[in-house]
Structure 1
Amino acid sequence: MTGTIHQPSVVIDEENLALHETGRIDAFCYINCSGGVEIGPESVIHCGSHVVGAGGLVMGARSVVTYNCVLATAVPGMDGPMSSMVDKREVNRNVAPITIGDEAFVGSCAVVMPGVTIHDAGVVAAGAYVDRDVPPGTVLMPDGSTRERPGEWSRFTNR
């Protein structure tokens, strides 16, 4: 870990954090690194955002997770106990890493579920619930609809 972590923040299992020297975690974040967290160059997780669960997170270069987002890398299944106080062996959990590509953006108060990939230049609009992949150069709106990201993002969509 060589980047910047602003305090107060909580980083669990910090030895599993790979923070690029130009990467940043702002104040008031909760980051569970037990599944491994990689934050690329010039990427940032802004104030009040949380990486919860043990599934892991990989962020590419120049990507942003804005304010008060939840990146849920593990959630309980609906067919068993939901309490975090229940022994983990009794809970059927969905655990999977979240991947955020280069030049991607996650808007304020978004919730991203386990196993989701936000591809290069993908955008999650503020307030969106994300339980499916976001294609390159695509904006996922809170109602689930998508549109093309404005601007010159063709270098990401032609891969």
Structure 2
Amino acid sequence: MDCIYCTPEWLEESARIYRATPRFQETLKRVSVRVFYRITAESNWGIDLDFIFGAFVTHGVLNDLRFFSEDETKEKAEFVMAASPQQWKLILRKEHKFLTDFMLGKIKLESGSKVGVLGIAPYADTFIDALTQVNLQFQDEMSPQQLNEYREYASQFRSKLGV
């Protein structure tokens, strides 16, 4: 399935695939975490305000994967990590490793402990696999018209979801 990066459809389809794939749950069975990811605003990508999406995992079971508001993030997140959409693209396309970029400061820890992140870092590749089972289209790969359509759509779903 094709999905556009930073859309509810991407997260919904990724969650559906995760839940239907026993190897993800088995690999993450020792993981219980509420981890959130901030995608910083980048107007050239049609991302006019930061996006935050989070995952709640309990012993490998994915309880929630969706966009969150700033207030929900402050209330619920165990970890918040932030990077530009370009940086997240490198991670999701597996051109860079999460742990390396985290240690180099390319991914910033906004909330939570560095030691805690290092404790879950060995599982990052599995979570990245779960988020990339769909064919992701990134905003820098879109035509100007597609980018404008994405910007309008993002504004609509942000308003609808309260994010």
Instruction: Identify the TM-score tier after normalising by the shorter chain.
Output: under 0.3
TM-score, structure 2 normalization:
0.24
User: Larger RCO: Structure 1 or Structure 2 (Cα < 8 Å, ≥ 6 residues apart)?
Assistant: 2
TM-score, structure 1 normalization:
0.24
Bigger helix share: 2
